[in-house]
């Protein structure tokens, strides 16, 4: 059990409540063993396919759990959110299902596939800023000028609890898991999963994975305080968060066992191998956990262990897939 002396923003009770709130709509996503990664690591490696969730990402869970909590007056006023793409779709679809108006602020660099999908769910999309943090600042300005309710992408107890239902599904399917590898942006997913898993067994190792180019949570974890980190853009755009959430960091620093980073090339290799070896199409963020495995940076957590790597999303522009495949095809031709 989690130490009772540590008061965290979420608990196993709030995650169980979230499970009840979202069960009518959210899919229980597949958990499949990958023989390719199992042979590669000498462990039992499974993939939790949140790319098969409604909207193609785990984000639908947290968005729905947050919005369903709103008062009738708040629902009538509508909601607004900021997102690189996956939270956008979660909020947009939830709003459509519940009959609520939604506005989404997305960075100008957001993948067009995510922009179009969000619009197709009925949301009004505003493109602003060169990255997530600029879009977030603009969204917060709009919230101050209107009566709409802001739906945070990660730094919210209800959102984290919704994402924590992924952890409950892992325990239902593989209660004896040793290690869970989780892609990290602002920290909502890993905070929820870590809370669920550690409430059952504190010895389950929860490892976060971020891109070397943008890894605010990893930098904060290593420093013991919230700081930002951004060098260049990353193909893992869904996790391109320079500063982690305040609430999520509280959970991560207490419950997460390690944070590691992977390079852009390692992410691309993982995307390519997931397509070629496991027949799974993922976005850069969804490939982070697999990239950690293939780079051998988590060998001590994987070898001889029962391991689950979270595939957090699959919303990727086809042109990006073509670029990734073309990169490695050209490399092979030049050998």
Could you tell me if 130 and 239 lie in one domain?
A: no
Instruction: For the chain, give the mean pLDDT.
Output: 93
Could you tell me if 212 and 326 lie in one domain?
A: yes
- Encode pLDDT of 249-290 as tens digits: 999 999 999 999 999 999 999 999 999 999 999 999 999 999
| Three-state SS annotation for 198-267 | HHHCCCCEEEEEEECCECHHHHHHHHCCCCCCECCCCCCHHHCCCCCCHHHHHHHHHHCCEEEEECHHHH
Dihedral Cα 10, 225, 200, 241, nearest 10 deg: 70
How many other CB atoms sit within 10 Å of the CB of residue 150? Answer: 16
Q: Which of 6-15, 304-313, 318-327 bottoms out in mean pLDDT, i.e. has the lowest?
A: 318-327
CATH number, domain of 139, equals 3.40.50.1100
Could you tell me if 255 and 110 lie in one domain?
A: no
User: In angstroms, rounded to a whole number, what is the distance separating the alpha carbons of residues 321 and 268?
Assistant: 9
Is residue 318's pLDDT more than 90?
Answer: no
- Find where tokens 């009770």 sit: 13
Show the tokens assigned to 122: 């009925």
The whole-number pLDDT of residue 2 equals 52
Could you tell me if 232 and 188 lie in one domain?
A: yes
Task: Note down the domain range covering 125.
Answer: 79-147
Is residue 333's pLDDT more than 90?
Answer: no
- Nearest alpha-carbon partner for 148 in 118, 97, 88, 104: 104
HSE-up of 199 (CA within 13 Å, CB side)?
Answer: 21
Residue ending a domain, among 120, 147, 174, is 147
Q: Which of 102, 199, 220, 312 is catalytic?
A: 312
Whole-number percent of the chain with pLDDT over 90:
82
User: In angstroms, rounded to a whole number, what is the distance separating the alpha carbons of residues 128 and 122?
Assistant: 19
Q: Provide the β-strand partners of residue 261.
A: 210
Q: Does residue 57 carry a catalytic annotation?
A: no
Q: Contact at 8 Å (CB) between 170 and 198? A: no
What is the pLDDT averaged over residues 207-230?
Answer: 97
- Encode pLDDT of 87-99 as tens digits: 999 999 999 999 9
Could you tell me if 215 and 280 lie in one domain?
A: yes
The whole-number pLDDT of residue 149 equals 95
Residue ending a domain, among 89, 120, 147, is 147
- Is beta strand 31-33 parallel, antiparallel or unpaired with respect to 205-211? unpaired
- Nearest alpha-carbon partner for 198 in 10, 30, 61, 64: 10
The whole-number pLDDT of residue 26 equals 97
Q: Which of 4-18, 90-104, 160-174 bottoms out in mean pLDDT, i.e. has the lowest?
A: 4-18
Residue 124: left (phi > 0), alpha (psi -120 to 50), or beta?
beta
Q: Does residue 312 carry a catalytic annotation?
A: yes
Number of domains in the chain: 2
Q: Which of 19, 48, 59, 136 is catalytic?
A: 59
Q: Contact at 8 Å (CB) between 242 and 216? A: yes
Please indicate, yes or no, if residue 64 is contained in any of the structural domains: no
The whole-number pLDDT of residue 334 equals 44
């Amino acid at each position: 059990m989690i130490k009772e002396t540590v008061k965290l923003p979420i608990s196993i009770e709030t995650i169980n409540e979230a499970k009840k709130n979202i069960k009518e709509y959210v899919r229980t996503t597949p958990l499949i063993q990958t023989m390719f990664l199992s042979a590669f690591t000498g462990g039992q490696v499974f993939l939790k396919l949140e790319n098969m969730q409604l909207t193609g990402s785990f984000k639908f869970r947290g968005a729905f759990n947050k919005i369903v909590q709103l008062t009738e007056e708040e629902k009538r006023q509508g909601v607004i959110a900021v997102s690189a793409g996956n939270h956008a779709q979660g909020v947009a679809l939830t709003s459509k299902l519940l009959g609520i108006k939604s506005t989404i602020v997305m960075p100008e660099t957001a993948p067009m596939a995510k922009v179009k999908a969000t619009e197709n769910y009925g949301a009004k999309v505003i493109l602003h800023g060169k990255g997530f943090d600029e879009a977030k600042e603009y969204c917060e300005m709009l919230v101050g000028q209107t009566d709409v309710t802001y739906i945070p992408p990660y730094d919210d107890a209800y959102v984290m609890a919704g994402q924590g239902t992924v952890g409950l599904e892992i325990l239902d399917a593989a209660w004896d898991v040793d290690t869970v590898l989780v892609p990290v942006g602002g920290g909502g997913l890993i905070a929820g999963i870590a809370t669920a898993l550690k409430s059952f067994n504190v010895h389950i190792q929860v490892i976060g994975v971020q891109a070397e180019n943008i890894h605010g949570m990893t930098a904060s974890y290593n420093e013991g305080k919230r700081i930002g980190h951004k060098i260049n853009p990353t193909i893992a755009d869904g996790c391109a968060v320079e500063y982690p959430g305040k609430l999520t960091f509280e959970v991560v620093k207490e419950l997460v066992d390690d944070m590691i980073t992977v390079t852009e090339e390692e992410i691309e290799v993982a995307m390519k191998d997931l397509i070629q070896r496991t027949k799974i199409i993922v976005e850069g963020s969804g490939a982070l956990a697999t990239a950690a495995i293939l780079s051998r940076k988590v060998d001590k957590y994987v070898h001889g262990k029962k391991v689950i790597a979270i595939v957090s999303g699959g919303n990727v522009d086809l042109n990006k897939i073509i670029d990734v495949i073309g990169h490695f095809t050209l490399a092979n031709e030049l050998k």
